[in-house]
């Protein structure tokens, strides 16, 4: 009696046919996964807003607070604060900012507001989320007023102010030049400062936690400079100053020019400090 033995190739073909049938059955019965719908990206529109805010006679200080973007300040005409705002509106019904002004004594205060709370700054990135609305301001101020300016993460820039400038930001860059006193403070933003001629009526102070500082010092004026940082102090050859390391890991430097009657104090927990001499602007005939 002959034994029937299946050939290997026939068994392989039978197994493949059975496996194919099982896979087809599984595909027919398993529900198909659908890709998640992409989140709708709101429409963004850029709009320019212009405002003129009268400055009453006798006003000595203009304060501007913008937690929703930048402040770029230039010297304008007496008698008014001119504002040119570049705004980003998200969505068809995105809100526009308002500019609320108030006066108290010799002080004019202007707030940039939206109908929601200012966004907080993310400690990890140093940035705030402005996707509900953003306003970057170019501001023209009278030449004879002191300035008080604040942002969250927006740049503060002031060019050739004539009076004292007080500028504060959580993480925004502070870029300021003035003939008056400097009072600048930021946690992690970079500071670029220039005190023009050393004849400021008051003392100056610059502070950061992590932000680096570049300071132009009026060595032809009456200045007493004091610098302290947990990082490094460096300077250009035009600055005659000695830098010393302390036992507690800090670097300190001090110098005096003229009578030294105007204090210029620089403090940073972890930011580098670089000093350069003020180079006077050329006079025009």
Q: How confident is the model at residue 141 (pLDDT cuts 50, 70, 90)?
A: very high
- CA–CA separation, 145 and 193 (whole Å): 19
Q: Which two tokens stand for residue 86?
A: 């570049």
Q: Is the pLDDT of residue 198 over 80?
A: no
The pLDDT tens digits for 183-192 are 999 999 999 9
In the structure encoding, which two tokens stand for residue 259, read together?
């009578």
Please give the helix or strand (H or E) that residue 14 lies within, else none. helix 8-29
Q: Are 258 and 221 in contact (CB under 8 A)?
A: yes
Nearest CA to 156 out of 271, 247, 71 is that of 71
Angle at 148 between CA 172 and CA 136, to 5 degrees: 45
**What pLDDT does residue 31 have?**
53
Tens digit of pLDDT for each residue in 257-280?
A: 999 999 999 999 999 999 999 976
Question: pLDDT class for 123, splitting at 50, 70, 90?
Answer: confident
Residue-level pLDDT at 3:
43
């Amino acid at each position: 009696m002959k034994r029937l033995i299946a050939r290997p190739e026939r068994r392989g073909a039978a197994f493949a046919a059975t496996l194919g049938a099982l896979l087809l059955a599984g595909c027919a019965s398993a529900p198909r996964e659908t890709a998640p719908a992409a989140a709708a990206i709101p429409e963004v529109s850029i709009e320019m807003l212009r405002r003129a805010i009268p400055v009453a006679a006798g006003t000595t200080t203009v304060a501007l607070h913008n937690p929703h973007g930048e402040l770029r300040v230039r010297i304008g005409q007496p008698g008014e604060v001119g504002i040119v705002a570049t705004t980003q509106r998200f969505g068809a019904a995105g809100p526009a900012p308002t500019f609320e002004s108030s006066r108290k004594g010799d002080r004019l205060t202007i707030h940039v507001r939206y109908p929601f709370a200012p966004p907080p700054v993310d400690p990890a990135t140093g940035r705030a989320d402005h996707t509900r609305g953003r306003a970057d301001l170019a501001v023209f101020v009278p030449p004879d007023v002191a300035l008080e300016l604040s942002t969250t993460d927006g740049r503060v820039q002031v060019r050739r102010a004539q009076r004292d400038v007080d500028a504060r930001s959580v993480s925004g860059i502070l870029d300021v030049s003035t003939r008056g006193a400097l009072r600048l403070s930021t946690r992690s933003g970079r500071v670029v400062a220039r005190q023009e001629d050393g004849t400021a009526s008051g003392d100056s102070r610059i502070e950061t936690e992590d932000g680096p500082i570049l300071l132009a010092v009026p060595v032809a004026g009456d200045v007493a400079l004091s610098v302290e940082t947990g990082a490094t102090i460096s300077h250009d050859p035009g600055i005659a100053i000695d830098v010393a390391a302390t036992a507690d890991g800090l670097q300190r430097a001090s110098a005096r020019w003229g009578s030294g009657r105007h204090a210029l104090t620089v403090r940073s927990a972890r930011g580098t400090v670089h000093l350069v001499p003020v180079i006077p602007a050329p006079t025009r005939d």
